[in-house]
Every structure is written in structure tokens, then in C-alpha cells.
Amino acid sequence: MRSILIPIVLIATMIMTSCSTSTNNTKEFQKLNEKITELQTQQEDLQSKLEKSEKRLYILQSKMVKQSDILEIKEDTTYIKSMVGNLEGIYISEGAARKKAESLTSNEVEKWSVTFNEDYDYDENNEDNLVRDVWVVKAFHPPGNKTIYYIDAITKEVVNLSEIESKH
């Protein structure tokens, strides 16, 4: 993984160490320290986003293959020959997606249904307009209500949730 370096943090650290501890410089020292902390937090957030983006890029690049590279298409999921051994390392399992949904419901569930959905456009208003591979986990509750969880297949994040009430 690539590393994000923010030179401002290094410069601010050098300035901070060169400041004297006199009372006039104490406020400047505190401001610099707060700025360094803020920049470090931003750096950590950016690093996390970069790692997730690199995983998504790997998925997207793997989808750009020739027809001859496709091993099989099963339940609307395309399995690429070169990736078959690596699928477990990229996507969370169907069971992990169901466990995530189970942890979020407190209602009685009669039946569960889990399907894989490639290229799910989960938020049309999102300015990044991300498309994700998701597990669609449906929980069927009595008397006919259901909850649908859309769980990112890479990050295990719930990207959408729908609750449908029975007409009874």
C-alpha cells in the first residue's frame, strides 16, 4: 500500500521544536500542536480511504477481462479464472454478511435470504456516485414485514437499509 505523507506535519513539528517555551510562544505552540493533531487525523482518514479505494480499484480492474478469462457466471456473479483462488481475500463471505445483518436486528426473523449484487448504485445523490459490490441480506419478519440490508462486500459497511411493512 502507498503511504500518504503530509509534509506540513513535518514542517510544523520542526517549527514546534524550535519554539522556546516562553509565555509569548505558548499560545503559538498550542495552536501548532492542535494543527499537527488535526493533520495527523486527516492523514489517517486519507490513508484509510486510500486502502479502501485500492481494494475497489483491484476489483474493478479484475472485471475488465476478456470473455475467455471468465470461469463461470453463477447467480449473477462473474467469477474470473485468475481470481477464483483470491475471492475469499477480497469479498466478505455470505455468512459474514448475514451475521452483520443479524447483529443489527432485534426483531424476530422467520427467514433469511442473501444474494450478491455487483455494481450496486446505492446513492444517486452521492457526489462521488460510487458503485459497490454488495451483499443484499433480506430478513423476513412476521407478519410479512421485511428488512433489507445492503452490505458492502469489501468493507462490511451497511450502505443502505430498507424496511418494508406488510399491507395486512
pLDDT tens readout for residues 86-104: 445 578 888 899 999 999 9
What digits encode the pLDDT tens for the residues 98-123?
999 999 988 889 999 998 876 666 55
Cα 7 to Cα 151: distance, rounded to the nearest angstrom: 36
Task: State the pLDDT confidence band at 80, using cuts at 50, 70 and 90.
Answer: very low
* 29, 17 contact by CB (below 8 A): no
The chain-wide mean pLDDT, for the chain, equals 74
The full set of domain ranges for the chain reads 7-62, 91-164
For the domain made up of 91-164, give the CATH fold.
Answer: Nuclear Transport Factor 2; Chain: A, (3.10.450)
Mean pLDDT of 146-159: 87
* pLDDT for 112: 92
Report CA-CA distances (Å) from 44 to 3, 4, 90, 129, 156.
10, 9, 22, 23, 19
